[in-house]
């Protein structure tokens, strides 16, 4: 397990370096700059601002300087929030985004796994077609469309749930969590169905049924553990994706999470905030991918060496 973990960590280093490098130069190549919209700024003041944020240095020198700051865990100061660092802004917005992502993931797991199990029990029947067709609709329906629809129906027409805010009104977390979790529930449903169908066709499942074991015991004790391996492998990047993909949902429902800082940073050309958000989310994806891989290996140790056919 130690060698497996070490190999995954070593693979993550060049991935993170590529993400940092590409993002850094793409941001700097975009038209305009963080101070280009300032009104009536004297040239000497503009030069002082650029010197303060090291924008007067050659681009390659800025890049290596930024890498040095990252090595110390410093994302740098925000260009648009004077006196506040990117670390502080991420720390301020992370709790709401993490809570939203956790609720959405729980909804996705419960709905997705149940739908996948129901479909796998009777493949190619109405019990299979209905949940899988619903899952396909969930995959095709983006959050920026589903969110306003939920707001319109449950917030405006029926007036059952609040349509904005986070943590101040009872029920204000329901609509954003459903909006975020629906797409992932659809993917989990399809993964659950595929994994369960593969396991249910194995010889040991047929043997368990031939021994007269109840179907519930066959599913829960014998099939479920192996059938959910694809779901476990998906949960790591899914949770990281829920955190990094919450920008639209946080904007729709006025949630004070990381999404608002990233969106504002993109409009304001806040280089350090854009870089900090991208690097932070890339690190989250790597970490949660590693966790999901470790859990999958714990469930099925044959995955440690797939090059040898899992044996």
217: region left, alpha or beta (phi > 0 left; psi from -120 to 50 alpha): alpha
pLDDT for 310 = 42
- Domain boundaries along the sequence of the chain: 94-308
Q: What is the pTM of this model?
A: 0.79
Q: Can you tell me the distance from the alpha carbon of 171 to that of 257, in angstroms, rounded to the nearest whole number?
A: 18
Can you give the C-alpha Rg of the chain in angstroms? 24
Give pLDDT tens digits for 6-40. 777 788 888 899 999 999 999 888 777 676 665 56
pLDDT for 106 = 92
pLDDT at 311 exceeding the cut of 60: no
Give pLDDT tens digits for 122-173. 888 998 899 888 888 888 888 888 888 999 999 889 888 888 878 777 788 8
Mean pLDDT of all residues in 75-101: 87
Name the band, by pLDDT with cuts 50, 70 and 90, for residue 67.
very high
- Among the residue ranges 102-116, 121-135, 212-226, the one predicted with the least confidence is 212-226
pLDDT for 17 = 92
Q: Can you tell me the distance from the alpha carbon of 171 to that of 168, in angstroms, rounded to the nearest whole number?
A: 9
Q: Can you tell me the distance from the alpha carbon of 249 to that of 81, in angstroms, rounded to the nearest whole number?
A: 23
pLDDT at 41 exceeding the cut of 80: no
Choose among 298, 310, 305, 292: nearest CA to 105: 292
Does residue 48 or residue 22 have the better pLDDT?
22
Q: Can you tell me the distance from the alpha carbon of 79 to that of 82, in angstroms, rounded to the nearest whole number?
A: 7
pLDDT for 87 = 92
Name the band, by pLDDT with cuts 50, 70 and 90, for residue 176.
very high
Choose among 235, 261, 239: nearest CA to 250: 261
pLDDT at 309 exceeding the cut of 50: no
The rounded mean pLDDT for the chain is: 83
Name the percent of the chain lying above pLDDT 90: 15
Choose the CATH number for 94-308 among 1.10.10.10, 3.40.50.1370, 1.10.3720.10, 3.30.43.10: 1.10.3720.10
CB 90 within 8 A of CB 75: yes
CB 180 within 8 A of CB 111: no
Give pLDDT tens digits for 231-280. 887 887 787 778 766 778 888 888 888 877 787 888 888 888 989 988 98
Choose among 183, 171, 172: nearest CA to 146: 183
């Amino acid at each position: 397990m130690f060698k497996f973990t070490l190999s995954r960590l070593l693979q993550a280093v060049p991935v993170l370096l590529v993400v940092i490098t590409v993002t850094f130069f793409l941001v700097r190549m975009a038209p305009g700059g963080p101070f280009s919209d300032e009104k009536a700024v004297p040239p000497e003041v503009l030069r002082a601002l650029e010197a303060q944020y090291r924008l007067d240095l050659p681009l390659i020198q800025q890049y290596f300087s930024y890498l040095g700051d990252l090595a110390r865990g410093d994302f740098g100061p925000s260009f648009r929030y004077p006196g506040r660092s990117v670390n502080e802004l991420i720390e301020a917005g992370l709790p709401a985004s993490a809570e939203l992502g956790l609720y959405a993931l729980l909804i996705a797991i419960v709905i997705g796994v149940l739908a996948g199990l129901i479909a796998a029990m009777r493949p190619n029947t109405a019990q299979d077609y209905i949940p899988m067709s619903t899952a396909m609709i969930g995959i095709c329906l983006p959050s920026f469309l589903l969110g306003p629809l939920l707001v319109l129906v449950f917030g405006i027409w029926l007036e059952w749930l609040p349509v904005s805010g986070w943590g101040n009104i009872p029920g204000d977390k329901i609509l954003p969590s459903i909006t975020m979790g629906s797409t992932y529930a659809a993917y989990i449903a399809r993964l659950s169905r595929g994994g369960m169908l593969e396991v249910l066709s194995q010889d040991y499942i047929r043997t368990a049924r031939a021994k007269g074991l109840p179907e519930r015991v066959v599913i829960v004790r014998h099939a479920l553990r192996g059938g959910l391996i694809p779901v476990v492998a998906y949960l790591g990047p899914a949770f990281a994706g829920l955190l990094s993909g919450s920008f639209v949902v946080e904007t729709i429902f006025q949630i004070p999470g990381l999404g608002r800082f990233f969106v504002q940073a993109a409009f304001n050309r806040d280089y350090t905030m854009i870089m900090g958000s991208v690097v932070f989310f890339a690190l989250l994806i790597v970490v949660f991918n590693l966790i999901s891989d470790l859990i999958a290996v714990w469930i099925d140790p044959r995955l440690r060496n797939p090059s040898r056919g899992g044996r």
